[in-house]
Amino acid sequence: MEDLAHFINGKRTRGTSGRFGDVHNPATGEVIARVPMASPDEVNAAVAAAAEAQPAWGETNPQRRARVMMEMVRLLNRDMDKLAGALSREHGKTLPDARGDVQRGLEVIEYCIGAPQLLKGEFTDNAGTGIDMYSMRQPLGVVAAVMPFNFPAMMPLWHIGPALACGNAVVLKPSELDPSVPLMLAELFVEAGLPKGVFQVVNGDREAVDTLLDNETIQGVSFVGSTPVAQYIYARATANGKRAQCFGGAKNHMIVMPDADMDQAADALVGAGFGAAGERCMAISVAVPVGDETADRLIEKLVPRIEKLRVAPYTDGDDVDFGPVVTAAARDRILSLIESGVKQGAKLAVDNRDFRLQGYENGFFVGPHLFDHVTPDMDIYKTEIFGPVLSTVRAGSYEEALKLAMDHEYGNGTAIFTRDGDTARDFAHRVNIGMVGINVPIPVPLAYHTFGGWKRSMFGDLNQHGPDSFRFYTRTKTVTSRWPSGLKEGGEFHFKAID
């Protein structure tokens, strides 16, 4: 069994706290590694090392920082399969999903190659008589990123890339459930030319996170995870005077209008609802067909598609639809919520509560489930299940369907499937949700737009990647400049007032 490490000052560093967490292979249930849980002293030492390295990196000109990003793109492409294999082994997602995880992170690094353009300030000539004004973007200093288990390559890269391109040093606290890929990314950044100490990885639990939140050197904090934790981190970080962006949970609705292409809608729901075993903040977990006839046609299309899904470990090949969930605790929580749905009166149109995978009985597998006749008062509707469970809530009208999405506490993503442009435009305009798909089930913006939800899905003012990330990881300084050319009387310059 492997003992993992932290990554400090450009190399893997053994933990000294004496505390470890188990890293499992979700397909087999076996413990495959131990990850050290950093003590406050270890976290503070990593922050101090980052603070020592940051000034020189911050003074490195943007195009040279961009060259590190260019080389990182090459290295990520080179090691794509290696990263995907390690990711699948610890997380459980299929190899195509794992490659997609790396790819979507890589795309943000590609965007960061444009740092020289993105960091340009503004200039006003002759703002007053003989006076010029200009602004500049400067790095925050040392920032922290606390990242989730479900995208161990993509999510760190979404934050590390812009933060580094802006001239900051970064201390990453990845999920303790699948920490190997973040450590591999740290090594790749050093190979790409990033100076030692500019990017640190400390593994740990809440103790490590609280230490980062309370450390005065940390100037900004990014978090992705559940809403209760997002709210907690945002409150503690901002109370300590830090800039914070914290992204929480989701309950994404897909409205299916009577005029929709039902085969297209069903295919979209299966992919968006069950891909990555539903462990995605942008997963569609609620289908909202408008009208009983639409609902009946949709259920008729969904059932055979879901029953054909192949659930297996990633080692069974690229034709596996999804693998296990990440932990035994996650599996048990999902099954408990499924039982609550049955008890509260929902109909299980596809029931896989007895799913067992021969030869992998100790793995954390959950079969696909489809609920019909779900109502908004049920736990399976209110709660983010984060598993392979799709709930169908029948709406009597478009307005009722729209209200369901708008009234839910989460506002991460949503979608509508329709052939009617007026309906689609009205939905996109009125719905109070951050990311909207029109005949697109998972509307994750590309790297040059920004990613973020509304309501209790996001705490803070600026989103992930795109232009917002460069705003988040920099401070704007505005300079008013005048070079006196008037008479010098009595050893003093005399200035005219600004016009």
CB 327 within 8 A of CB 26: yes
CB 133 within 8 A of CB 481: yes
The residue type of 242 is K
> Beta strand 20-24 with 31-36: parallel, antiparallel or unpaired?
antiparallel
- Cα–Cα separations (whole angstroms), residue 75 to 65, 186, 188: 16, 12, 7
* Among the listed residues 246, 242, 184, 249, the one whose alpha carbon sits nearest the alpha carbon of residue 216: 242
Q: Residue 342 has which token pair? A: 């049955």
Coil, strand, or helix at residue 376?
coil
d(CA 239, CA 262): 49
* Among the listed residues 453, 445, 452, the one whose alpha carbon sits nearest the alpha carbon of residue 104: 445
Q: How many CB atoms lie within 10 A of CB 492?
A: 7
The residue type of 338 is I
Q: Look-up: residue for tokens 């100076």?
A: 195
**3 state SS for 69-111:** HHHHHHHHHHCHHHHHHHHHHHHCCCHHHHHHHHHHHHHHHHH
The per-residue DSSP string of 195-221 comes to PTTSEEE---SHHHHHHHHH-TTEEEE
d(CA 131, CA 138): 22
Q: Residue 336 has which token pair? A: 């408990």
Active site residues per annotation: 281
